[in-house]
Chains A and B, each alone.
Chain A
Amino acid sequence: MSTPATYAGEAPARIVEPHKRIQRTYWQAARRRLLHDPVSMGCLGILFLIITAAMLAPWITPHDPYTSSIVNRLKPVLSPGFVLGTDELGRDMLTRLIYGGRISLLMGLLPIFIATLAGSILGIVAGYFGGKTNMVIMRVADIFFAFPSVLLAVGLAGALGAGVVNVLISLSLVFIPPITRVAEAATTQIRAQDFVEAARATGASAPRIIVGHVLTNVASPILTYASSLIGLSIVLASGLSFLGLGISPPLADWGLMLNTLRQSIFLAPVNAVWPGAMILIASVCFNLLSDGLRTAMDVKP
């Protein structure tokens, strides 16, 4: 997904001081470009709001997320005391949505974080050392890669059983191969360049070259790619919970709420839409932000 129209670029107003030359490092320039991109900043704002709300959940939510009430089942939106209505067990929708954000966002971010760490290490090692090491790592990654991620996640969740930790493990495993691939491709490219050769000629050890020279250069393609997976991870995690393979019932999770409310969709269609809308907003915001990041860091897709 490319959004060239949203790229704001540098403001031409700088011309006023022609003699003052602005020097920036790559990361400063990237951050500057990102801060001037209205779409990215909008998304960042929305995500900041959702994340803060999720973190402060116990203090800002009007009700308890687990206390059910038979008389208050499926209240419509804007009922007194329940701004967004209630779910099929009479629990406050707004409260559950905010609490659900905790698990759903965690499921989006943590697997990507773990997979980025593991995938970068594997990919950089494979790319830097080449040869047999490369072949073994990349062959295994390719096999996992060939198998669709959802099927992999469902299979793994089936093997490990449902539950927060198991979903985290299976999602992390799902995202390691693609990140390994990107890291390997970037490293192979960097390794062939003269400055790496020069470093090797001065007698620098492999770990030193990797940390000092390779890592700084492969960081931006890996990070932009990993960030583009966050939205997918949120959708996958919700999908697993939706199928009953993820979070178990009393806990609040957007995917799980969508599944349990689906049974009441004919009685209270609007209530059933909320968790779906949250999943959509979060994943789209992460995707757009990642696009902005890609543009800002000037990485070719």
Chain B
Amino acid sequence: MIRRLASAVPTLFIIIAIAFFMIRLAPGGPFDRERVVPPEISANLNRVYHLDEPLPKQFVRYLGGLARGDFGPSFKYRDFTVTELIAAGFPVSLKIGLLAMAAAVLLGVGLGAWAAQRRNSAADHLVMGLAMTGIAVPNFVVAPLLSLVIGVYLNLLPVGGLGDGGVRYLLLPVISLALPQVAYIARLSRGSMLEVLNADFIRTGRAKGLTERRVVFRHALKNALTPVVSYLGPATAAIVTGSVVIEQIFAIPGLGRYFVQGALNRDYTLVMGVVVTYGTLIIMLNLAVDLLYGVLDPRVRSRE
């Protein structure tokens, strides 16, 4: 476990290094505008942001800042540092992401297990058909449709912004974000549930007179959950990814929106800051999933 933790640090360092040099070496800069500024002004700008120094020196300066939790100034939002922008966006994204994740796991496992018990029935086919569609439709297609039908035609929920931050405003983004994951987890847990329900120990459980409820919840579900847990890592990555698009569509001031705005404005430090945050987040979550996996399946632990 400590080895896994130790290998996370160099991975993060390489992500930072690759991102840093790739962004710096690409042609064009953050001060390229329609209007050409006099060379003295751009030289001054470059000096203020240390862009005139050699790249390795800039990189060391950036790393030094990172170590102190300083992501540097934003090139576009002049009144804010990147740290402030990330601090503002991160909680919003985290809230939406966690809600979507919870919805995906609860609904996905529930639907999957429910369908597995009714194997080859109409309900099973319906759930799996919907899941198939849910996986295939990109969320930037689903989200506008959802906001049109639920937000405009039925006029049930607001279609953009955070408003007062209440649940009503979060519902549509969370649904659009969770939908593909619900679909995927439903398929996954149906498959593993079917496998487990055919296992010998389930037959034994039924033979010794356990109620069906106890067999399913106590014995089958716990064992069927392992593939779902190992999917949690990719699921997190997918939800982080999805949030980039969803926040854009629903005008939510989260991390993903800053990422896209930063990329559009070529705001180096902002893009870098978000990349570093995402990188750290994903590495840590993958570690957490590994730990959880060990808790659920003791065989994994003994192998190390």
Binding site for B on A (CB under 8 A): 1, 140, 143, 146-151, 154-162, 235, 238-239, 242-245, 255, 258, 262, 265-266, 269, 272-273, 276, 279-280, 283-284, 287
Residue of A140, A245, A262, A279 near B263 (CB, 8 A) is A245
What's the minimum C-beta distance from B168 to chain A, rounded to whole angstroms? 19
List 6 A-B pairs, minimum CB-CB distance, nearest first: A158-B263, A276-B141, A150-B241, A148-B237, A159-B23, A159-B26
Task: Please report the C-alpha to C-alpha distance between residue A20 and residue B298 in the assembled complex, in whole angstroms.
Answer: 56
Interface string of B249-277 (1 = CB under 8 A from A): 10000000001101110100001000100
For this complex, 17 residue pairs linking A to B, each with C-beta atoms less than 8 Å apart, are A143-B14, A147-B282, A150-B241, A151-B278, A159-B263, A159-B271, A162-B264, A243-B260, A245-B260, A245-B264, A262-B249, A265-B147, A272-B144, A276-B140, A276-B141, A279-B141, A283-B138
Quick check: A155 and B141 within 8 Å, CB to CB? no
Quick check: A266 and B148 within 8 Å, CB to CB? yes
Quick check: B275 and A151 within 8 Å, CB to CB? yes
B238 within 8 A of A: yes
Contacts of B140 in A (CB 8 A): 238-239, 242, 255, 258, 276
Task: Known contacts A143-B14, A245-B264, A266-B148; decide if A148 and B271 are in contact (CB<8 Å).
Answer: no
Task: Please report the C-alpha to C-alpha distance between residue A6 and residue B241 in the assembled complex, in whole angstroms.
Answer: 32
What's the minimum C-beta distance from A174 to chain B, rounded to whole angstroms? 12
Binding site for A on B (CB under 8 A): 11, 14-15, 18-19, 22-23, 26-28, 132, 135-138, 140-141, 144-145, 147-148, 152, 237-238, 240-241, 244-245, 248-249, 259-260, 262-264, 266, 271, 275, 278-279, 282-283, 286
Contacts of B27 in A (CB 8 A): 160-161
Residue of A155, A162, A269, A287 near B19 (CB, 8 A) is A155
Task: Known contacts A143-B15, A154-B263; decide if A160 and B26 are in contact (CB<8 Å).
Answer: yes
Chain A residue with Cβ nearest B14:
A143
Chain A residue with Cβ nearest B152:
A266
What's the minimum C-beta distance from B92 to chain A, rounded to whole angstroms? 17
Of A162, A243, A266, chain B has the most CB atoms within 10 Å of the CB of A243
Contacts of B262 in A (CB 8 A): 158
Contacts of A159 in B (CB 8 A): 22-23, 26, 263, 271
Quick check: A235 and B145 within 8 Å, CB to CB? no
Quick check: A148 and B145 within 8 Å, CB to CB? no
* A143-B15, A158-B259, A243-B264 given; 7 more Cβ-contact pairs under 8 Å: A147-B278, A239-B140, A243-B244, A279-B138, A280-B136, A280-B138, A283-B136
What's the minimum C-beta distance from B205 to chain A, rounded to whole angstroms? 29
Task: Please report the C-alpha to C-alpha distance between residue A235 and residue B245 in the assembled complex, in whole angstroms.
Answer: 12
Task: Please report the C-alpha to C-alpha distance between residue A284 and residue B23 in the assembled complex, in whole angstroms.
Answer: 34
Task: Known contacts A151-B244, A242-B140, A280-B141; decide if A161 and B26 are in contact (CB<8 Å).
Answer: yes
Quick check: A243 and B245 within 8 Å, CB to CB? yes
What's the minimum C-beta distance from A181 to chain B, rounded to whole angstroms? 14
Task: Please report the C-alpha to C-alpha distance between residue A275 and residue B155 in the assembled complex, in whole angstroms.
Answer: 25
Quick check: A158 and B264 within 8 Å, CB to CB? yes
Residue of A148, A157, A244, A272 near B282 (CB, 8 A) is A148
Task: Please report the C-alpha to C-alpha distance between residue A151 and residue B260 in the assembled complex, in whole angstroms.
Answer: 10
Contacts of B136 in A (CB 8 A): 280, 283-284, 287
Contacts of A287 in B (CB 8 A): 136
Quick check: B275 and A155 within 8 Å, CB to CB? yes
Quick check: A273 and B145 within 8 Å, CB to CB? yes
Chain A residue with Cβ nearest B13:
A143
Task: Please report the C-alpha to C-alpha distance between residue A283 and residue B140 in the assembled complex, in whole angstroms.
Answer: 14
What's the minimum C-beta distance from A268 to chain B, rounded to whole angstroms? 11
Quick check: B148 and A269 within 8 Å, CB to CB? yes
What's the minimum C-beta distance from A200 to chain B, rounded to whole angstroms? 34
What's the minimum C-beta distance from A53 to chain B, rounded to whole angstroms? 21
Quick check: B141 and A154 within 8 Å, CB to CB? no
Task: Please report the C-alpha to C-alpha distance between residue A235 and residue B144 in the assembled complex, in whole angstroms.
Answer: 16
Quick check: A150 and B244 within 8 Å, CB to CB? yes
Of B132, B140, B238, chain A has the most CB atoms within 10 Å of the CB of B140
Quick check: A239 and B245 within 8 Å, CB to CB? yes
Contacts of B148 in A (CB 8 A): 265-266, 269
Task: Please report the C-alpha to C-alpha distance between residue A243 and residue B249 in the assembled complex, in whole angstroms.
Answer: 9
Residue of A143, A154, A161, A262 near B28 (CB, 8 A) is A161
